[in-house]
Amino acid sequence: MKKTVLVSGGAGFIGSHVTVELIEAGYDVVIADNFSNCDLTNYNGACAITGRKLPLVEMDFCDPEAVEKLFSDYKIDAVIHFAAFKAVGESVWEPLKYYRNNVESFINLLETAERHGGCNVLFSSSATVYGEPEELPVTEKSPRQPATSPYGNTKQICEDMLRDTVKAKPVIKGIALRYFNPIGAHPSALIGELPRGVPNNLVPFITQTAIGKRECLSIFGNDYPTEDGTCLRDYIDVVDLAKAHVYAVRRMLEGKMKEDYEIFNVGTGRPVSVLELVKTFEKVNGVKLNWKYAPRRAGDVTAIWADPTIANKELGWKAERTVEETLAAAWAWEKRVAEM
Ligand code: UDP
């Protein structure tokens, strides 16, 4: 029988890509989203790619009655929880907004899942939990550092809540996927990243500058102790990232977990500097980007990239797309957005 996966925040950037990969892998999906930080574009795109009218519930995970109704209406075999606020800077100015939304929603989800007899829960975590790492690349065993923002803290708190709940309640199993820097878009250019206002992240800022929406890209800092002076990151293609979720869900549903709570790094293992990324974007897409060096951005770490060995071995997953392919997809998506 087909298994059903609930995707909270399924109308967002990563959630919509995961939805598509789940459907292609033969799962049924229920999308739940409150549209607080997205519109219907990616939902409609996911429906177009999969050729289905995907079940969509408009609801807020901070509303326990709505979560209860969701679990009563559908037989849910696994949940992937994306629904959360994600702007690091805003979380510093509005910490309680972040704690309430990101933590309370996950409490409601875990409580309800337990009441309904248990569930496999996949939490979308972040490499931000590693802070400024002492050793590179980071493994799952690398120590977590105290969070430097309320956003980062919500990721640590939710990881801990899942770990502790799994320990106390045998009917709940959990996986936390720690994402490095997700970028790119679906090759169909029907779904992608749609930041509201001025983008915080590098690649949306690059594509918006290339299309003429922004005047100039600032590269934050060229005095870091790296080869070209700019920061190093592990940019992971969003479709590759989405596939990692399918492998993780399958591992849970097929009872292949080695422990009831597991953590996997989801990255390529390949560090790329900001400058390299900018130059690669220009080269693969044949566009000239207006950019300048600017002072460092507060809170940025010098370098972080993943050791993805455990995900490669245990999940049987590996990042496949090249940075070139990914940046071409990001550009195709931006051009499509311009036509909308
Ligand atoms: N960055 C930049 N200009 C921008 C946005 C980001 O130079 O307009 C740099 C940032 O300093 C970091 C890298 O790009 O070194 C990735 O930043 P992003 O915000 O995309 O992800 P983060 O690694 O902070 O989660």
pLDDT tens profile 310-337: 999 999 999 999 999 999 999 999 999 9
User: Is the predicted pLDDT of residue 282 greater than 90, yes or no?
Assistant: yes
**Residue 202 Cβ contacting ligand 1 at under 6 Å:** yes
Question: What does pTM read for this prediction?
Answer: 0.97
Asked if 241 contacts 266 with a C-beta cutoff of 8 angstroms, the reply is yes
| Predicted pLDDT at 144 | 96
Query: What's the mean pLDDT in 248-256?
Result: 98
The residue whose C-alpha atom lies closest to atom 25 belonging to ligand 1 is: 181
Task: Please tell me the distance between residue 53's alpha carbon and the centre of ligand 1 in angstroms.
Answer: 36
| Closest C-alpha among 324, 217, 332 to residue 281 | 324
The residue whose C-alpha atom lies closest to atom 21 belonging to ligand 1 is: 201
Query: What's the mean pLDDT in 91-102?
Result: 96
Half-sphere exposure for 225 (CA within 13 Å, toward CB): 1
Which of 27, 130, 151, 247 does the annotation list as catalytic? 151
Where does 116-237 have alpha helices with state H? 150-168, 202-211
> Rounded to whole angstroms, how far apart are CA atoms 82 and 265?
16
| Predicted pLDDT at 17 | 98
> Rounded to whole angstroms, how far apart are CA atoms 201 and 146?
22
User: Is the predicted pLDDT of residue 79 greater than 90, yes or no?
Assistant: yes
User: Is the predicted pLDDT of residue 302 greater than 90, yes or no?
Assistant: yes
The confidence band for 299, taking pLDDT boundaries of 50, 70 and 90, is confident
Residue with token string 């001025």: 198
Residue 74 burial (C-beta neighbours within 10 Å; 0-12, 13-18, 19+): middle
The confidence band for 216, taking pLDDT boundaries of 50, 70 and 90, is very high
> Rounded to whole angstroms, how far apart are CA atoms 70 and 75?
9
**293 noted as active-site residue:** no
| Predicted pLDDT at 303 | 97
Instruction: Summarize pLDDT for 113-168 with one digit per residue, the tens.
Output: 999 999 999 999 999 999 999 999 999 999 999 998 999 999 999 999 999 999 99
| Predicted pLDDT at 148 | 87
**Residue 214 Cβ contacting ligand 1 at under 6 Å:** no
Retrieve residue 283's tokens: 């080269």
> Rounded to whole angstroms, how far apart are CA atoms 35 and 59?
8
Mean of pLDDT over the chain: 97
Retrieve residue 9's tokens: 């925040």
> Rounded to whole angstroms, how far apart are CA atoms 216 and 290?
5
Query: What's the mean pLDDT in 4-23?
Result: 98
Report the nearest atom of ligand 1 relative to the CA of 299.
24
Task: Please tell me the distance between residue 218's alpha carbon and the centre of ligand 1 in angstroms.
Answer: 10
The confidence band for 90, taking pLDDT boundaries of 50, 70 and 90, is very high
Mutate to test the pocket of ligand 1, among 179, 272, 297 (most ligand atoms within 8 A of CB): 297
Task: Please tell me the distance between residue 203's alpha carbon and the centre of ligand 1 in angstroms.
Answer: 8
> Rounded to whole angstroms, how far apart are CA atoms 250 and 257?
10
Task: Please tell me the distance between residue 302's alpha carbon and the centre of ligand 1 in angstroms.
Answer: 11
The confidence band for 1, taking pLDDT boundaries of 50, 70 and 90, is confident
Angle of CA points 216, 218, 224, to nearest 5°: 160
Q: What is the share, in percent, of the chain residues with pLDDT greater than 70?
A: 100
| Predicted pLDDT at 97 | 97
Q: Around Cβ 56, how many Cβ atoms within 10 Å?
A: 18
